[in-house]
Structure 1
Amino acid sequence: MPLPTPDAQGDQITHTTDTDQAETGHLLGAADIRRIADLAGIHPTKRLGQNFVIDPGTVRRIVRLAEVGANDPVLEVGPGLGSLTLGLLEAGNKVTAVEIDPALATRLPETIADFMPDAQDRLTVINRDALTLSADSQADLAAAGSLTLVANLPYNVATPIILTLLERFPNLNRFLVMVQKEVADRLVASPGSKVYGAPSLKLAWYGRAESAGRIGRNVFWPAPNVDSALVSFTRATAPSTSPEAVESQRKEVFALVDAAFGQRRKTLHAALKGLVPPEAFTEAGIDPTRRGETMRVEEFAALARACRETEE
């Protein structure tokens, strides 16, 4: 039985049978996951946010929604035991998998060798914290042309990982990630929403994020205590200014965003006191009695620009 197709409202994606497993190859089911974990002596930990996908149908749905072409470079963070990794390799992608857990990083190439040996040359495994990745340390990723992130992200650090990678890899143009539903709601929220905040604005600085569907708890082992959801993202067209100028502007905007939401219930005038002179509000055409949760990222950018111009 195939999965239902999620729509813009985020239909529930639930557990499916393994009947479509025979379509193109063998992906990992529940029995495979538990067997591999037992053989490797691996036990999922809450500390690292480890919940492994046990449903091939869900994996194939994620890969289809990611819309990555064959031989295109894909970055996967937190591959775990290899469920999504195998799905991406099955689709013909070149996968760089970043895994913080040494035991999982060591086991992953063995799993690919067992289940999809012809794809071994398209997999690179990096054993490190994704938050430490940079264009300098990972020159191959930085030079990969258009890079796509496809991942079941560790719930406890999903937002920092997304924002860090977007900052450090300008060629990271798209992503489709699975995160805790509450995190997904914040990432795609619009001004005025109860969950709209700093993560919403910071992601909007880089481009457009959209909900891509919900994921049921029963497709994971162990099953999490929260619902999950998919978020898709497309980076905005790069501005014509220099990368150094863009980075300077980003820092200015993010500083205002952090200050505005550090005191969420205060007006902009109160929350940004000492950062934004009164004349900058006038120059940017922004009412200082507004609150941060009503502001679009373009308005924060205009306010940052006005501050810079009043200082010159």
Structure 2
Amino acid sequence: MAEKLDLRPTKKFGQNFVIDGGTVRRIVRTAGLSPDDVVIEVGPGLGSLTLALLPEVAHVVAVEIDPVLARQLPLTVESRGLGDSLTVVGGDAMKVGPDDFSGYLPTALVANLPYNVSVPVVLHLLEVLPSLRKGLVMVQAEVADRLAAPPGSKVYGVPSAKAAWYADVRRAGPVGRTVFWPVPNVDSGLVSLERRDPPVTSASRKQVFSVVDAAFAQRRKTLRAALGVLFGSPARAEEALRAAGVDPSTRGEQLDITAFARIAEHLED
């Protein structure tokens, strides 16, 4: 198909296509999908995962930024008699919202995500699609570790804390390099997401995320120092931390998302 389309995978679009049938079936099986699910797939590429998903769910909404692939996917699916269950959205997954899906509200995210935008895409979709209840994404192994890292871990950081605002996140297994074309120079991993309610707080998500960003911008510093600019001074940051029940000498990597939310409650509007 790639030869027919004169297609060369590009780094610009982060294209590494899954070409192993066993891996595709494993992803669908591990995703825990039901016949009622509407799946959003980001970066369907040549359609190997799409074809495996379609018989298992009510509908697949595929978001594809490459116009050549976006035009080809419906033809590939139609040739196998599955066209009625597919909607293709041509464009950037970072810019899509509920109004782009022709009335279908995705309940599950299942995708081989482009490495270069995997974390922003996951966080964006969780934010703009409250209908998403679960997900299974394939990402670079290092990114998988960061998304699923618990507080106190060496790789716990901004992606870990922000993902935890929306969902319980865990590693769901490794993926070898040879299942892709072209073969990447890094390993991959599966990440499972189960939506849950965010922490109960009077602070907005934006306020909480601003505290997370500030805490990890200078992760070697104590929170008193790291949050000084955000709160106006280290002294004010210390007041807010103590009011939130957090030791000012702690570092951001020790806090869970609930603690960040308590701190954010003391930000001025």
Give a deviation string over 1:55-90, Cα, whole Å, max 9, x none.
111111100111111142000000000000000013
The whole-number CA distance in structure 1 between the counterparts of 2:174 and 2:47 is: 21
Query: Cα distance, 1:240 vs. partner?
Result: 8.2
Determine whether 1:62 maps to 2:27.
yes
Q: Cα–Cα, structure 1 residues 254 and 99, in superposed 2: closer, same or farther, change >3 Å? A: same
The whole-number CA distance in structure 2 between the counterparts of 1:252 and 1:238 is: 13
Identify the residue that residue 261 of structure 1 maps to in structure 2: 216
Identify the residue that residue 92 of structure 2 maps to in structure 1: 129
Aligned residue for 1:212, secondary structure, equals: strand
Identify the residue that residue 202 of structure 1 maps to in structure 2: 162
> Would the aligned equivalents of 1:178 and 1:231 in 2 still touch at CA under 8 Å?
yes
Aligned residue for 1:140, secondary structure, equals: coil
**Over 6 Å off, 4+ runs:** 238-241
Aligned residue for 2:151, secondary structure, equals: coil
The whole-number CA distance in structure 2 between the counterparts of 1:49 and 1:274 is: 36
Identify the residue that residue 252 of structure 1 maps to in structure 2: 207
Identify the residue that residue 79 of structure 1 maps to in structure 2: 44
Q: Percent identity?
A: 55
User: In the alignment, which of 224, 231, 254 is matched to residue 191 of structure 2?
Assistant: 231
Query: Cα distance, 1:219 vs. partner?
Result: 0.7
TM-score by length of 1: 0.81
What is the aligned length? 264
> Would the aligned equivalents of 1:86 and 1:112 in 2 still touch at CA under 8 Å?
yes
Query: Cα distance, 1:140 vs. partner?
Result: 2.0
Identify the residue that residue 109 of structure 1 maps to in structure 2: 74
The whole-number CA distance in structure 1 between the counterparts of 2:160 and 2:199 is: 20
Aligned residue for 2:68, secondary structure, equals: helix
The whole-number CA distance in structure 1 between the counterparts of 2:162 and 2:208 is: 9
TM-score by length of 2: 0.93
Give a deviation string over 1:132-168, Cα, whole Å, max 9, x none.
1123444624xx2x61000000000000000011111
> Would the aligned equivalents of 1:68 and 1:93 in 2 still touch at CA under 8 Å?
no
User: In the alignment, which of 118, 122, 135 is matched to residue 162 of structure 1?
Assistant: 122
Letter in 1 for 2:85: R
Identify the residue that residue 7 of structure 1 maps to in structure 2: none
Q: Cα–Cα, structure 1 residues 249 and 95, in superposed 2: closer, same or farther, change >3 Å? A: same
Identify the residue that residue 91 of structure 1 maps to in structure 2: 56
Identify the residue that residue 13 of structure 1 maps to in structure 2: none
> Would the aligned equivalents of 2:166 and 2:198 in 1 still touch at CA under 8 Å?
no
Letter in 2 for 1:88: L
> Would the aligned equivalents of 2:165 and 2:199 in 1 still touch at CA under 8 Å?
no
Gap runs ≥5 in structure 1: 1-35
Identify the residue that residue 172 of structure 1 maps to in structure 2: 132
Cα-Cα RMSD: 1.8
Query: Cα distance, 1:281 vs. partner?
Result: 1.5
The whole-number CA distance in structure 2 between the counterparts of 1:257 and 1:177 is: 23
Q: Cα–Cα, structure 1 residues 128 and 206, in superposed 2: closer, same or farther, change >3 Å? A: same
Identify the residue that residue 175 of structure 2 maps to in structure 1: 215
Identify the residue that residue 273 of structure 1 maps to in structure 2: 228
Aligned residue for 1:275, secondary structure, equals: helix
The whole-number CA distance in structure 2 between the counterparts of 1:249 and 1:187 is: 22
Give a deviation string over 1:97-149, Cα, whole Å, max 9, x none.
000000000011111122x21x11000001100001123444624xx2x6100
> Would the aligned equivalents of 2:33 and 2:57 in 1 still touch at CA under 8 Å?
no
